[in-house]
Amino acid sequence: MSLQTKTIVPSRYITFTIPNPSIHHHYNASHLRIAVLDSSSPSGRTKFGVMVVPVGLESDWVYSTFEGHLQILLCHTDFYRLVLIGNSPDPINPTSHSPVINQKDQSVIQRAFIRLLNDELKPSNQSSTVWFSTRVDMVIRSLVLGRFFGKIIGEMLIEDVEWKLENGVGTEFRRRMRFRKSPYLFETYMKIQPNKTDFVNMEDVEFEIVDDGVLRPSYLTPMVAGLRVNHLLLNRKIQKGIKPTALCLGVGTGALVAFLNSQLGFKVLGIETDVIVLDAAKNYFGFESSNNSRLCTGHPLKMAEKFATQVETDGFHGYILDNGECLNEFDDKFDVVISDLEAANPSVVMKSPSAEIIRKSMLMNIKKLLGVNGVLILDVTIPKERYYDEVITPVMEVFGEMYEIDVENEKYSIVIAASETEFGAFDPSESEFLKTLKKVTGSFPEAVKPILKKR
């Protein structure tokens, strides 16, 4: 194998096993699994990167799949090669995990691997320095509740985890949904609590969803705060006894749909690509459909395109689903469309927005679905140097008026596109709706600012 790995071949992915030279007592499998991925554009990159797979996580998608490996490499722009090395995975997927390696052991293990890696895997005429990369995993222990396969989204995992809080003080329990196609970058979760505190193994306790009024994942909160842009419209509707309406493209656990309904009084329609995700939202995350919060299955953007055709016809009495069902409770245009659609290609680091939604034809369809003073809200994780040309310019061409929220200390922004030009984002008065919005989203509404067109 060393002959094959002495040269860099762009985008080449190789996995193999070698007899274990007894590196460490925790790495005691008969064979070690080694996975090698070369950068698609190695020119100018100077570092040979290595990540030691944590004991017990050998079967985790982050470490055992091409998709996970690729996404780790894409996050290290100076690596010409990234090697993952660890015990060979157990052929039976584990249902629980608890870490066994401390920081002192980790340093010993890394030193033990250096000679092996230099001898076998360092390409000729490349930097001889091995750069060890560590993934900060906040999971203390986990319990798999179910593995599922959807025709469209692929393999999906539902698990309960004990999570180390970012401030380093204390832990919390979460139920999360993960996808094999993007195991390193994307997951969605809700907070849970055990029905007893004196337990050792997670298998020995039952958990229940915590409804504390907090929207999770955290990036959804500033998205909701984007409703400041049309708060005057929303306030007028509510004062007249009319529920404002929202269309959510992408559902996940159903948290956003439920939050808009319960906290802000919206009537919400959520569209999710795969029925397996909707089943998980209902069976594992406590989502309950009602006349004011509906979930349906279909390609979100294709459904939006279909709805745009329907709403423009005479005698419109409700959106019609692919199965022929008429949503009579949704018989008008929407006040907001919120997109939570990530890039479908695992070779793309950015999560959102998907390239499809910022096509001009798609933006025109969404604009047709929005009523007067309606808004489109997008989560944007494109690097700042590409942000304006790739997102702002095409969206502004269709909508004209745009706003943003820069999330401090985070690598994303929220973009709000307005279908008309009469807005109250910076109106000095505070509507009752805006007061409520600030209560449930904190200071984010104050961070809304206009995006100016380049000259």
- Give the whole-angstrom CA distance, residue 209 versus residue 190: 7
179 and 89 part of one domain = no
67 and 106 part of one domain = yes
Do the domain assignments include residue 75? yes
- Give the whole-angstrom CA distance, residue 34 versus residue 86: 7
Query: Tokens 């479908």 correspond to what residue?
Result: 344
115 and 54 part of one domain = yes
239 and 195 part of one domain = no
pLDDT at residue 181, as a whole number = 83
Dihedral over alpha carbons 421, 425, 426, 429 (to 10 degrees): 120
**DSSP characters over 62-74:** HHHSHHHHHHHHH
Residues 288 and 266 sit within 8 Å (Cβ to Cβ): no
Residue type, position 273, single letter: T
Calculate the CA 444 to chain-centre distance: 20
239 and 167 part of one domain = no
Domain that includes residue 444, residue range: 220-450
* Orientation of helix 255-264 relative to helix 432-441, angle to 10°: 140
259 and 378 part of one domain = yes
The closest alpha carbon to 192, from 214, 211, 178, belongs to 211
Do the domain assignments include residue 87? yes
Structure tokens at 234: 């929303």
pLDDT at residue 344, as a whole number = 57
pLDDT tens, N- to C-terminus, the chain (455 residues): 555 677 888 999 999 998 887 777 777 888 889 999 999 888 878 788 899 888 888 888 999 999 999 989 988 888 999 999 988 987 766 666 666 655 556 677 777 777 777 666 767 666 667 788 877 678 888 899 999 998 888 899 999 999 888 776 788 999 999 988 887 666 788 999 999 888 888 888 999 988 777 888 888 999 999 999 999 999 999 999 999 999 999 998 999 999 999 999 999 999 999 999 999 999 999 998 888 999 999 999 999 999 999 987 766 778 888 888 888 888 899 999 999 887 555 555 545 688 889 999 999 999 999 998 999 999 888 777 777 888 889 999 999 889 999 886 667 889 999 976 555 556 667 899 999 999 999 999 999 999 887 65
pLDDT at residue 212, as a whole number = 77
- Give the whole-angstrom CA distance, residue 419 versus residue 226: 14
Long-range contacts made by residues 403-411, C-beta under 8 angstroms, separation at least 24? 403/226, 403/229, 403/448, 403/449, 403/450, 403/451, 404/448, 404/449, 404/451, 405/222, 405/225, 405/226, 405/444, 405/447, 405/448, 405/449, 406/447, 407/219, 407/222, 410/219, 411/381
pLDDT at residue 409, as a whole number = 64
Do the domain assignments include residue 214? no
Domain end, chosen from 132, 157, 172, is at 132
Distances (CA, A) of 225 to 152, 169, 408, 414, 433: 31, 28, 14, 9, 11
Domain end, chosen from 83, 112, 132, is at 132
The closest alpha carbon to 404, from 419, 388, 420, 390, belongs to 388
Do the domain assignments include residue 29? yes
The closest alpha carbon to 173, from 157, 186, 189, belongs to 189
For 250: left if phi > 0, alpha if psi spans -120 to 50, otherwise beta; the answer is: left
Domain end, chosen from 209, 239, 254, is at 209
Query: Tokens 């909701």 correspond to what residue?
Result: 224
Kindly provide the residue ranges of all beta strands, DSSP E only, lying in 185-316, ordered along the sequence.
187-194, 207-209, 245-249, 267-272, 293-297
Do the domain assignments include residue 215? no
Structure tokens at 90: 């157990």
- Give the whole-angstrom CA distance, residue 137 versus residue 163: 9
pLDDT at residue 283, as a whole number = 94
- Give the whole-angstrom CA distance, residue 13 versus residue 383: 26
Tell how many helices (H) and how many strands (E) occur in the chain.
13, 21
288 and 395 part of one domain = yes
153 and 226 part of one domain = no
Domain of residue 343, CATH code: 3.40.50.150
22 and 101 part of one domain = yes
265 and 366 part of one domain = yes
Distances (CA, A) of 14 to 1, 4, 6, 34, 69: 10, 9, 13, 8, 11
pLDDT at residue 137, as a whole number = 73
Do the domain assignments include residue 237? yes
392 and 373 part of one domain = yes
β-partners of residue 188 are 177
Residues 336 and 247 sit within 8 Å (Cβ to Cβ): yes
293 and 362 part of one domain = yes
- Give the whole-angstrom CA distance, residue 418 versus residue 450: 11
Structure tokens at 222: 């500033």
**DSSP characters over 156-189:** EEEEEEEEE-TTSS-EEEEEEEEETTSTTT-EEE
For 96, which DSSP code? E
Measured in residues, the chain has a length of 455
Do the domain assignments include residue 455? no
Do the domain assignments include residue 28? yes
| Number of domains composing the chain | 3
The Cβ-side half-sphere exposure at 159, using a 13 Å CA radius, reads: 20
The closest alpha carbon to 405, from 187, 213, 214, 224, belongs to 224
Structure tokens at 284: 């594992």
